[in-house]
Amino acid sequence: MIAFLLLIVLGVLGQVAYGWGMHESCQSIEQPLKNAMTVAFQRATEAKAEIRKIPRDKHVDALVKVVFGSDDAKAADAAQRLEAIQWLDIFSTSRPTAYNVILYCSTDRITDYIGRDPENKGKKIGYEDPDRNARVKGGALMDDCRSENHNGDASTRALTINLGSKKDKDGKDQRERIADTIQLCPWYLRKLAGPPPSYDTPDELVKKAADVKAKNLLAKFNAKLNHETATPIDSLAGFEHVLLHEMTHSAIAGYSDDTPAGKCYGWKHSVKCQKSENADSLAYFALAVELVLHRGYTVNKDGTLQKLADKK
Ligand SMILES: [Zn+2]
């Protein structure tokens, strides 16, 4: 009995150790950020449940095959990664050390990491994040994120830094003790602060998604997409999509990746890659499931939206 109670207590404590927190730099957008995170968590939870449903909704089943292929193991892996994200769905403003992800909305704390050894003396070899007590070599994505000189050519909307991904000297994974950093890029947050696109009704949504001008504008939010590679659903991959994409990179969601070398970004590339461990594949699948469940639309392989006759 005592052992049983102890297990419950440990279980509760274990859960408290997970969640998401935000740095004070996010205070001014706390409410929109929370709203977008809520949508991201809902998408992950619903998408996971829909993959596992027996039998699957026929539209969801078609999406599973388009995004992850016909291999059941990939669908099962995708469901597992999406399920793990629900562990992050506890918010706290207190500074997380044991929390799983911490969001930053400014890069002001970041400084250049200057080499000290003879070979690199005085050279910038990466960046330092004093707030996370971290020094990172390389850091091209952070440079892009920090840059104010984009003119619509910025590609990095956000990035995740897995500080706890290394094993300690005893070979134990440190992921429960060091939170992952999710850095939201200031230039992107400023763009979001503009007038929000109205996607109130499904028909408006489709009209907007088919609008080439809007498509190009939204594709500019992510220069990894261009006129050739952007598809209608990419126009709907907004802030919630970015947040879900980044959360799939977290330790708890199994460190999903953007490999090979960023070639699986966007709908068009995601459906070509058919990888359950690809961050954008997971986020796009969850977005497409939301369209099926709540908007009465599904997504074709080419990224166009299709009205469902059998759904309201
Ligand atoms: Zn990514």
**Domains of the chain, with CATH numbers?**
21-90+98-307 (3.40.390.10)
What's the pLDDT score for residue 15? 44
Q: How far apart are the CA of 142 and the centre of ligand 1, in A? A: 12
- pTM of the full structure: 0.86
Q: How far apart are the CA of 20 and the centre of ligand 1, in A? A: 18
Q: How far apart are the CA of 284 and the centre of ligand 1, in A? A: 12
* Residue of 182, 22, 10, 176 lying closest to 100 (CA atoms): 176
Q: How far apart are the CA of 260 and the centre of ligand 1, in A? A: 11
Q: Are 22 and 30 in contact (CB under 8 A)?
A: yes
Give 46-66 pLDDT, tens digit per residue.
Answer: 999 999 999 999 999 999 999
Q: How far apart are the CA of 187 and the centre of ligand 1, in A? A: 17
pLDDT tens-place values along the chain, 312 residues long: 555 555 444 444 444 567 899 999 999 999 999 999 999 999 999 999 999 999 999 999 999 999 999 999 999 999 999 999 998 998 876 655 555 899 999 999 999 999 999 999 999 999 999 999 899 999 999 999 998 876 555 578 899 998 876 666 777 666 556 889 999 999 889 877 765 554 555 566 666 666 655 555 554 555 456 656 778 788 788 899 999 999 999 988 888 998 776 789 889 999 999 999 999 999 999 999 999 999 889 999 999 888 898 765
What's the pLDDT score for residue 215? 53
Q: Are 305 and 205 in contact (CB under 8 A)?
A: yes
Beta strands in 74-231 (DSSP E): 91-92, 101-104, 111-114, 124-129, 134-137, 158-161, 180-184
Burial class (CB in 10 A: 0-12, 13-18, 19+), 5: exposed
**Tokens 């070639």 correspond to what residue?**
263
Give me the amino acid identity at 259.
T
Rg over CA atoms, the chain? 20
Strand-pairing partners, residue 112, are 127
Q: How far apart are the CA of 80 and the centre of ligand 1, in A? A: 18
Q: How far apart are the CA of 225 and the centre of ligand 1, in A? A: 14
Q: How far apart are the CA of 12 and the centre of ligand 1, in A? A: 31
